[in-house]
Amino acid sequence: MTAHLAAAPEPSVTVRAPGKVNLSLRVGSVRPDGYHPLVNIFQAVSLYEEVTATAVPAGRGVSIAVDGPHADRVPTDRTNLAWRAAELLAERTGVEPDVHLAIVKGVPVAGGMAGGSADAAAALVACDALWETGLGRDELTHLAAALGADVPFALHGHVAVGVGRGTS
């Protein structure tokens, strides 16, 4: 009798992040930097994006697969915000960005509910855990703000007020 050994599954981490609605949005006159000052009230909703970060062999880099409604409308290359989140975290922590991100869409695509931002927030948390970088929530929030105005909200959820450019 011959024994067959099954390969151990690659480590993975799954994280869910909520979409959001804007309960209120106030926009001021354009500032000298070209941005409008905002006061925005965000509310997390019970629609979620789910991102599973799975380790891949060294040198493979980042890859993305997307499933769910309208998944064909979501980019699976470097233009994807979750991809950029993984690369940013890797760059800031000195980790090689070798990861496969499996995204399951639960927030409508292009519906203004921050589905892409939720993907990025979930990717930051999942990759942080997978790579054991040990960043705290404040450091992840700083990285999230570098990715976009809605990404920090998706890290925290609940209800929040965004002011300025909407990132604080």
Per-residue confidence of the chain (168 residues) as pLDDT tens digits?
556 565 667 899 999 999 999 898 888 898 898 888 888 888 999 999 999 999 999 999 999 999 999 999 999 999 999 999 999 999 999 999 999 999 999 999 988 899 999 999 999 999 999 999 999 999 999 999 999 988 999 998 888 887 876 544
Angle, CA 75 vertex, CA 133 and CA 9 arms, to 5°: 45
Hey, which residues are catalytic here? 20, 150
The Cβ of residue 71 has, within 10 Å, a number of other Cβ atoms equal to 14
pTM of the model: 0.88
Residue ranges of domains in the chain? 12-18+47-148
At residue 40, the 3 state secondary structure works out as strand
CA 36 to each of CA 6, 26, 32, 40, 167: distance values in angstroms, whole numbers, following the listed order: 57, 10, 9, 12, 13
DSSP label of 71: G
- The helix/strand count (H/E) of the chain reads as 4, 5
Pick the CATH number of 12-18+47-148 from 3.30.230.10, 3.90.180.10, 3.40.50.300, 3.40.30.10: 3.30.230.10
